Amino acid sequence: MEKVKIQLKKTGHAFYKILIGHNFSKNIAKFLRKEFPESVCVIIADETVKKLYGENLRKELKKNGQKVFLFSIPEGERSKNQKYKTMIEEKMLKLRIGRQSVIVAIGGGVVGDLAGFIAATYMRGIPCIQVPTTLLAMVDSSIGGKTGIDTEQGKNLIGAFWQPRAVFVDLKYIQSLSQRQFINGLVEAVKVFLTSDANSFLYVEKHISIILKRNQEALKKVITSAVSIKARVVERDERESGERMILNFGHTVGHALENLSQYKIPHGYAVALGIIIEAGIAVDTGKLKISDYSRIKNLLINKMGIELKTLGAYKPKEILDHAKNDKKSKNGKSRYVILKEIGKVYVCKNMFAHHVKDSAVIRVLNKINLANKK
């Protein structure tokens, strides 16, 4: 089992562990019994994960003597909203679940973000533990305490920072993911490596064929590296006032595409297209070498099967306008994380995201569309 620790300076619950290994149900039960012995346990899952793993976890916790409820939401991004937040809160209130309770979020990023946000606001805040079941949630969304919901105006526009008390990354969950969901998560690991760790990016390039076949050792290495990098970035900048913004590489355009497609493009796929466009912007602004850009495109497009044709459905101006709704925007202008080289981002005057002229974004989008049509 691998252990990664997060030590935060600013919040009350200043320390938690991320455990990476296999078959954690008993460990979760033991952890809850030790840390929250008298608490009511509320498991939140989506319908699919409830059937696959949630029911079993409920049984395990019940066997452990804990009072447990299991609530589910329909699967998919469309459930990450105020309606389902309220639905679960009302169920909890009707059952008179009080402050002595703990939420266990088992699922992908949708459940993790929604359940984490419920924990952040229920009775002014109750503990939450994250049990990620998608690769995306394992390497990214379950760690670092960003929780929230989507609105008509855009993604994650309402939310809170609410750190989990523990994260259990159980690699056995990866086996039941579709290849699409698997790649969706791998993109977020690649993103972390592109901004912070050239060696891990190289490792993925070299081992992509066994990674795609879900070789356990290779996956454990990729997940542990991505989790460790994210943990260190979060420690240095918990509230995303500076360095943590680098984890949004690919997300200014990625979120715009998700929103434009009404969430039909899965998050990781939208981020992959965002990475290609934002790396293109870095080349256009003279910061990134073409050879690095080619490596990025080769991995994402040729090896991982990201299709640029998805972009053709949207006009460059539409993408640009949606990108301005991003949380990183300042004075109505979108900002971008700019790669300097593989493993490093461009930082200027302690700024990690930068204004880019609209004309440059449009130029890059047109160029990519044109190249794609050839």
Q: Does 55 bind ligand NAD (CB under 6 A)?
A: no
Q: Does 141 bind ligand NAD (CB under 6 A)?
A: yes
Is 33 assigned a catalytic role?
A: no
Q: Which helix (H) or strand (E) holds 75?
A: none
**Given the residues 50, 58, 165, 230, the one annotated as active site:** 230
- String of contacts with ligand NAD for each residue 251-290, x by CB under 6 A: ---------------xx-----------------------
Is 255 assigned a catalytic role?
A: yes
Torsion of CA 33, 34, 40, 45, to 10 degrees: -70
**Interaxial angle between packed helices 267-284 and 358-373, expressed in degrees from 0 to 180 and rounded to the nearest 10:** 110
Three-state DSSP class for residue 73: strand
**DSSP category for residue 18:** E
For the record, the structure tokens of 143 come out as 């760690």
Is 22 assigned a catalytic role?
A: no
The radius of gyration of the chain from alpha carbons, rounded to an integer in Å, stands at: 20
**DSSP category for residue 196:** H
Contact 32, 102 (CB under 8 A): yes
Three-state DSSP class for residue 22: coil
Q: Which stretch binds ligand NAD (CB under 6 A): 31-39, 138-146, 203-211, 353-361?
A: 138-146
Is 267 assigned a catalytic role?
A: yes
Annotated binding-site residue? 111: yes
Q: Which stretch binds ligand NAD (CB under 6 A): 24-32, 73-81, 302-310, 346-354?
A: 73-81
Residue choice 16, 66, 77, 336 for contact with ligand NAD (CB under 6 A): 77
Three-class SS of 32-85: HHHHCCCCEEEEEEEHHHHHHHHHHHHHHHHHCCCEEEEEEECCCHHHCCHHHH
- String of contacts with ligand NAD for each residue 12-51, x by CB under 6 A: ----------------------------------x-xx--
Task: Specify binding-site residues for Zn(2+).
Answer: 188, 251, 267
Residues making contact with ligand NAD (CB under 6 A): 46, 48-49, 52, 75-77, 80, 107-111, 113, 133-134, 136-137, 140-141, 144, 146, 155-156, 173, 176-177, 181, 184, 266-267
